[in-house]
Amino acid sequence: MADQSLSTPAVRYDPAWRRRIADGQKPAIAAIDLQHFYGQGELKKQVLFDNNLEIYPGEIIIMTGPSGSGKTTLLTLIGTLRRAQQGELHVLDRPLHAATNADLLSLRREIGFIFQAHNLFDSLTATQNVRMALELADPNGKKSEQTALARELLQAVGLEHRVNHKPKQLSGGQKQRVAIARGLVHRPRLVLADEPTAALDEQSGRTVVELLRRMAKEEQVTILIVTHDNRILDVADRIVNLVDGRIRSDVLVQEAAIVSQMLLKCDVFKHMTPRGLAEMADNLKSEVFAAHQRVIREGESGDKFYLIRTGSVAVKRGPQESQIATLKSGDFFGEMALLTGEPRNASVDTLEETTLYSLSQEQFQKAIAEQASFETEIRTSLFDRQ
Ligand SMILES: Nc1ncnc2c1ncn2[C@@H]1O[C@H](COP(=O)(O)OP(=O)(O)OP(=O)(O)O)[C@@H](O)[C@H]1O
Ligand SMILES: [Mg+2]
């Protein structure tokens, strides 16, 4: 359901790719074979099964799934509101499966919770409700500074005109936004949100999502959102679908990430630095070809490298143009002529409407040059060590 509303098909997330581009950075959340049970004895019921999940700092993950599939349970385990019973769970560098209560307490201060039940205090104003989170995190903090921060956050969620209102004087959506401000005001490193935009109109939902996006991209905050709200899917880096307590799919949805994951599968690029890859992804041009169109012709000189984003192509060779291969999404072609300087050794025709990403010869050579210097670096460092 979630994937259908995206304009381009998503691509299955490859953890190996992420580890590669993480460049030594550790995941903010890592679940390894995580299980969870409710109840005891005969009533014991398993609700999470063998879940493996890695989320890196600065990533926004949206989790979807049918009611009762275990989304909130997983969120509460990560948020230390429940104990992980079996398997491993690492959150912000702490192994929760082996943590003491004091560890959990200190970890909780670094997490921002936005859960559906608002739990606002009726006798406190919006500002006071938000400031409460700061007072808990830093009881000795300066009140005037905490008030200013609380106001800033209320403004960021579009409630600057409601700062002195009490919950009873606010609409459902406004209360929800106060709860969101409260969950974010102490600058958490990790935000766990359960249906944060459910009660919000389109515009307030956008404001909140934009705020989360900025926190992720500018401050490397890790964000995990459980939602059924199709309007906000575009903010996600990945969409994880949980069904019957198991992760059914984990897909990348941001185009730059999809492309760099695809590029790493090509030998020519596999030693590129994360920065080089991102630069290359930026330089790709997208072109849509109708069905049965020729993309390259055997014998012509080559000036581009192609990556198939969607659709499929046939590779043909010889006077009879016999088909020697079919290539599909994630495959690439055209690199040989660029590598050897010889004419194209095959023709390529689309089999259906196909979106191709292409890289000019110049950019391609630059990528090769970077890889060459990488190899030289490796060789030099090996040599130096001897
Ligand atoms: N405290 C609890 N005690 C016993 N069973 C529970 C408890 N909380 C949840 N469950 C059960 O665990 C399963 C997963 O529940 P969970 O709340 O994690 O689902 P969810 O995916 O968040 O659903 P929804 O989309 O409706 O919020 C359900 O079968 C639910 O009935
Ligand atoms: Mg739930």
Do 298 and 249 share a structural domain? no
Do 180 and 235 share a structural domain? yes
Do 245 and 114 share a structural domain? yes
Q: Ligand 1 mean position to 67 CA, how many Å?
A: 8
Do 104 and 52 share a structural domain? yes
Residue 318 reports pLDDT greater than 80: yes
**Which of the two residues, 171 and 276, has the higher pLDDT score?**
171
Q: Mean pLDDT score of the chain, rounded to an integer?
A: 90
Q: What average pLDDT score do residues 139-158 get? A: 95
Rg (C-alpha) for the chain, rounded Å, is 25
Long-range contacts of 227-231 (CB under 8 A, 24+ apart): 227/62, 227/63, 227/64, 227/193, 227/195, 227/196, 227/197, 227/198, 228/64, 228/195, 228/198, 229/195, 229/197, 229/198, 229/205, 230/2, 230/5, 231/197, 231/202, 231/205, 231/206
Q: Ligand 2 mean position to 72 CA, how many Å?
A: 4
> Confidence band (pLDDT; 50, 70, 90) for 376?
low
**Which of the two residues, 278 and 77, has the higher pLDDT score?**
77
Residue 290 reports pLDDT greater than 50: yes
Residue 282 reports pLDDT greater than 70: yes
Do 297 and 226 share a structural domain? no
* Distance from C-alpha of 282 to C-alpha of 260, rounded to nearest angstrom: 9
Do 233 and 103 share a structural domain? yes
Give the model's pLDDT for residue 1. 40
CATH at 348: 2.60.120.10
* Distance from C-alpha of 323 to C-alpha of 312, rounded to nearest angstrom: 13
Residue found under tokens 């185009």: 255
Of 254, 273, 294, the last residue of a domain is 254
In terms of residue numbers, what domain contains 121? 2-254
Residue found under tokens 């799934």: 65
**pLDDT above 90 as % of the chain:** 70
* Distance from C-alpha of 30 to C-alpha of 93, rounded to nearest angstrom: 9
Give the model's pLDDT for residue 28. 98
Which of 73, 82, 226, 244 to probe ligand 1 with, by most ligand atoms within 8 A of CB? 73
Do 10 and 146 share a structural domain? yes
pLDDT per position as a tens digit, 155-168: 999 999 999 999 99
Give the model's pLDDT for residue 3. 42
Q: What average pLDDT score do residues 370-381 get? A: 61
Residue 106 reports pLDDT greater than 70: yes
205 CB under 6 A from ligand 1? no
Phi/psi-derived region of residue 287, left when phi > 0, alpha when psi is between -120 and 50, beta in every other case: beta
Q: What average pLDDT score do residues 343-352 get? A: 96
Q: What is the pTM of this model?
A: 0.86
- Range of weakest confidence among 4-8, 142-146, 155-159, 254-258: 4-8
Residue 278, beta-bridge partner list: none
Residue 163: DSSP 8-state: T
DSSP states of 232-300 as a string? Answer: GGGG-SEEEEEETTEEEEEEE--HHHHHHHHHTTSGGGTT--HHHHHHHHHH-EEEEE-TT-EEE-TTS
**Which of the two residues, 57 and 367, has the higher pLDDT score?**
57
Give the model's pLDDT for residue 241. 96
**Which of the two residues, 119 and 110, has the higher pLDDT score?**
110
CATH at 182: 3.40.50.300
Q: Ligand 1 mean position to 242 CA, how many Å?
A: 12
Of 204, 220, 254, the last residue of a domain is 254
- Range of weakest confidence among 29-33, 123-127, 372-376: 372-376
Give the model's pLDDT for residue 247. 97
227 CB under 6 A from ligand 1? no
* Distance from C-alpha of 248 to C-alpha of 63, rounded to nearest angstrom: 11
Give the model's pLDDT for residue 283. 87
pLDDT per position as a tens digit, 227-247: 999 889 989 999 999 999 999
Do 325 and 219 share a structural domain? no
Q: Which amino acid appears at position 364 of this protein? A: F
pLDDT per position as a tens digit, 175-220: 999 999 999 999 999 999 999 998 899 999 999 999 999 999 999 9
Which of 43, 63, 69 to probe ligand 1 with, by most ligand atoms within 8 A of CB? 69
Do 319 and 200 share a structural domain? no
Do 342 and 263 share a structural domain? yes
Q: What average pLDDT score do residues 256-269 get? A: 86
The answer to whether residues 63 and 238 touch, using CB atoms and an 8 Å cutoff, is no
Give the model's pLDDT for residue 373. 66
Residue 113 reports pLDDT greater than 50: yes
> SS3 helix, strand, coil % of the chain, rounded to 5?
40, 25, 35
Do 208 and 304 share a structural domain? no
335 to each of 97, 285, 339, 349, 381, how far by Cα in Å? Answer: 48, 16, 6, 16, 29
Total number of domains constituting the chain: 2
Closest CA to 88 of 78, 79, 103: 78
Do 85 and 120 share a structural domain? yes
Q: What average pLDDT score do residues 45-73 get? A: 96
Give the model's pLDDT for residue 331. 94
Give the three-state DSSP class for 105. helix
Of 195, 221, 254, the last residue of a domain is 254
